[in-house]
Amino acid sequence: MRLEFINSIKVDEILGRNILTNDGSILLRTGVKLTQQYIQKLKQLGVFYVYVQDARLDDISIEDEKLSNLKSTTMKNMSKIMKNVTGGDKEGTKESLAIVEDLVNYIIQLGDVNKSLFDVQTYDNYTYLHSIDTGIMAIFLGMSMNLKESELKELSIGAILHDIGKTKVPKEIVTKAGELTVEEFEEIKKHPTYGRNILEKNLSISTEVLKAVEHHHERVDGKGYPFGLISNEISKFAKIICVCDVYDAVSNDRTYREKFNPSDAYELILAGSGNAFDEEIVRRFKETFSVFPLGICLRLSNGVEGYVIRQNKNFPDRPVIRVLYETETRKPIKFYEIDLLQNKNIVVKSII
């Protein structure tokens, strides 16, 4: 399976991973043949990349069907969760959050970080998918920090609901494509407090979750908001959510990103260690998440191009690459593999 930019997709290639709508329904199903009409529609929806099937890479397992179904079900219930929480329907909220707990339990027991993220983003499904992926990343990061199962469940709820306060911010500000005015940004900066107030008023929820939501834009150097807290004044859950929120937002925010570039997002997190983000959490982030997703094509410093087929644990920027063609002519060759961990004189130059 290959991860290709939408402009590189050829007519009649076969979709390798489901594309979901905002409500969790399947827009295009794995196995569909991509016509020119489908490709054009995906571009209109703001899709920058898709997975396509490739027999030469059929040993790359991207899809976790059980997890995909759980994410789809969670997405279908996100509007219900938001409505129940903001409306104070405690019983309805309890029932809808039980679906989130199913997702958490599965990740704790069987989750594979390399199959859990990098879903196809469209303009209409970004908001809910961002909340869910932030929650999933937070669980994996929390697991690497040896949090207890009960803590992981609280962390996931805080992560999935971290932006619920934006429901109190005027929609025209939240969805504005251009730069915010000073007054608009001041209103945006209130959403963590709005979020805590909503949850505190309408749910029986732990103080740790409330702090996670209220503190998720604080920075360890004191330059965050809404309170300018520093270091240990910030909730541990919030520190975890902050890293995951920023990474996912930068990876998928199409208002300024010309193309999907995971290395830039990754470097942003590493560069923020000790000022924006907690140093220990960034270290765990580096141990947990890889720079380049499975199936993406990379150009190496030796001029060779190939696809990521495996990750090397604890070496996030040194994957195993499979070379399928001669770079200059694009002529198919008998493929071979380059393990960047074993070939330290070769580095990744760019994403193709």
Q: Which CATH class is domain 2-52?
A: alpha beta
| Helix H or strand E encompassing 320 | strand 315-325
Q: Which of 144, 157, 161, 64 is nearest to 110 (CA)?
A: 64
Q: Over the Cα atoms of the chain, what is R_g?
A: 21
Write down the pLDDT at residue 183: 94
* CB proximity list for 349: less than 8 A, separation 6 or greater: 298, 299, 300, 301
Domains 2-52 and 65-287 equal at CATH topology level? no
Please tell me which residue, 81 or 189, carries the higher pLDDT value. 189
Write down the pLDDT at residue 123: 56
This prediction's pTM:
0.86
State the burial class of residue 171 (Cβ atoms within 10 Å of its Cβ: 0-12, 13-18, 19+): exposed
pLDDT at 271 over 60: yes
Average pLDDT in the 9-27 region? 84
Every domain of the chain and the residues it spans: 2-52, 65-287, 296-351
Task: Quote the percentage of the chain above a pLDDT of 90.
Answer: 51
Q: Which of 175, 145, 165, 348 is nearest to 263 (CA)?
A: 348
Counting other chains too, the contacts that 64-68 makes at CB distance below 8 Å and 24 or more residues apart are 64/111, 64/112, 64/115, 64/116, 66/106, 66/110, 67/103, 67/106, 67/107, 67/111, 67/115, 67/116, 68/18
Q: How far apart are CA 192 and CA 211, in angstroms?
A: 9
Could you please state the CATH topology (level 3) that the domain comprising 65-287 is classified under.
Hypothetical protein af1432 (1.10.3210)
Q: Which tokens hold the place of 346?
A: 């070769």
Q: How far apart are CA 294 and CA 54, in angstroms?
A: 13
Question: In the block, which residue shows the tokens 């732990």?
Answer: 206
Write down the pLDDT at residue 211: 97
Q: Which of 66, 67, 98 is nearest to 80 (CA)?
A: 98
Q: How far apart are CA 122 and CA 256, in angstroms?
A: 15
pLDDT tens digit sequence for 305-320: 999 999 998 898 999 9
